[in-house]
Amino acid sequence: MKIIKLDAIDSTNTYLRQLSMEEKLPDFTIVTAALQTAGKGQMGTKWNAEKGKNLTFSVFKKIFCLENEEAFYMSMATSLAIYNALKHFQVPKLAIKWPNDILSENQKICGILIENVIQNSKMTAAIIGIGLNVNQTVFKVGLNASSLKKSTGVHFDLDEVMFEIAKQLKKYSHLITERSFELLKNEYESLLFRKDKPSTFKMPNGKLFMGFIQGVSEDGKLNILLEDDIMTAFDLKEIKLMY
Ligand code: BTN
C-alpha cells in the first residue's frame, strides 16, 4: 500500500485527484495530512480539524465494476468499513447517519466525502476522503461533534487507526468487486441512525415534518415513511434530520 504523508495541504482529496491525473496510482494509495488548510466537507462545507490530532486522509480506489448509478454502494462500503474499524477500537454506541456520517453516542465522530473519477462517462475510480476526529477533545459549541478520545477516554495512535480503516476498506471493497450489493445494503440499513424511530426532518424552506427512516434506495436516497403510510425517497439537498 502506497502511503504519502504530508505535513500540510489544502485538501487530501484535491491533492489525490490531481496526482491520479498525473500518474498511474496503485489501488488503495493513501494521502494523509497533519493539517488541511481547505478541507472539504459534504455539500460545499468546510472540514476543520486541529493539526496533528486527527485523521484527515484520502484513499484512491480503482472501480471497474460499478455503473454510475450504483455509486452509492461505495459510500455504503466506506461507512461500514469505518463503523467496523471503530467497533474494533471499542468506540461506544456507533451508528451510521445517512448518508455517511459516523456517530458515537449521537455525536458526529467521522465524515466521509467520496468524489468519483469519471472517464469517458464511466466511473473508473473513487477518491474516498475520510475525516475522523481522534485525539481532539474541544469542538465548537453547537457542532455536536465527538472524537475517539472524547468517547473512550483513550489516546489513539493515528497510524494504527488508519491501518485498521484501510484493512476494513479492503474487505468491504471486495464485496463491491463481488457485487454482493444485497449484503452491503442489509448491513448498512441495519446500522442506520434512527431507523424505524419517529424522527423530525427539516426541509430547505424551514418546514418540519415527521417520518420513519425505513432504509435507502439503490441510488442512495433516504426512504422515509410519512404520515398516511406514504413512502418517499429524499436526497441530501432535500432534508436534514433533526436530532
Ligand atoms: C463531511 O462533511 O462530513 C465530509 C467530511 C470529509 C472530510 C475529509 S478530510 C480528508 C478528505 N479531504 C477533504 O478535503 N475532505 C475529506
> Three-state SS across the chain?
CCEEEEEEECCHHHHHHHHHHHCCCCCCEEEEEEEECCCECHHHCECCCCCCCCEEEEEEEECCCCCHHHCHHHHHHHHHHHHHHHHHCCCCCEEEECCCEEEECCEEEEEEEEEEEEECCEEEEEEEEEEECCCCCCCCCCCCECCHHHHHCCCCCHHHHHHHHHHHHHHHHHHHHCCCHHHHHHHHHHCECCECCEEEEECCCCCEEEEEEEEECCCCCEEEECHHHCEEEECCCCCEEEC
| Alpha carbons within 13 A on the beta-carbon side of 29 | 19
Q: What is the pLDDT of residues 178-226, one digit of tens each?
A: 999 999 999 999 999 999 999 999 999 999 999 999 999 989 999 999 9
Q: How far is the CA of 40 from the centre of ligand 1 (A)?
A: 5
From CA 217, how far away is CA 185, in angstroms rounded? 9
Provide the mean pLDDT of the chain: 97
From CA 3, how far away is CA 1, in angstroms rounded? 6
Domain 198-241, what architecture? Roll (2.30)
**Cβ(131) – ligand 1 distance below 6 Å:** yes
- Structural domain boundaries of the chain? 3-190, 198-241
Owner of C-alpha cell 424551514? 206
From CA 242, how far away is CA 208, in angstroms rounded? 9
For a mutational test of ligand 1's pocket, the pick from 6, 37, 47, 50, i.e. the residue with the most ligand atoms closer than 8 A to its C-beta, is: 47
Cell of 117: 473519477
Residue nearest atom 15 in ligand 1 by C-alpha distance: 40
From CA 96, how far away is CA 165, in angstroms rounded? 15
Q: What is the pLDDT of residues 74-83, one digit of tens each?
A: 999 999 999 9
Q: How far is the CA of 113 from the centre of ligand 1 (A)?
A: 5
Instruction: Work out the angle at residue 133's Cα, subtended by the Cα atoms of residues 172 and 144, and round it to the nearest 5 degrees.
Output: 110
Q: How far is the CA of 114 from the centre of ligand 1 (A)?
A: 8
What was the pLDDT predicted at 228? 87
**Cβ(108) – ligand 1 distance below 6 Å:** no
Report yes or no on whether pTM surpasses 0.95: yes
Question: The domain 3-190 is classified under which CATH number: 3.30.565.10, 3.30.930.10, 3.40.50.2300, 3.40.710.10?
Answer: 3.30.930.10
Q: What is the pLDDT of residues 27-67, one digit of tens each?
A: 999 999 999 999 999 999 999 999 999 999 999 999 988 99
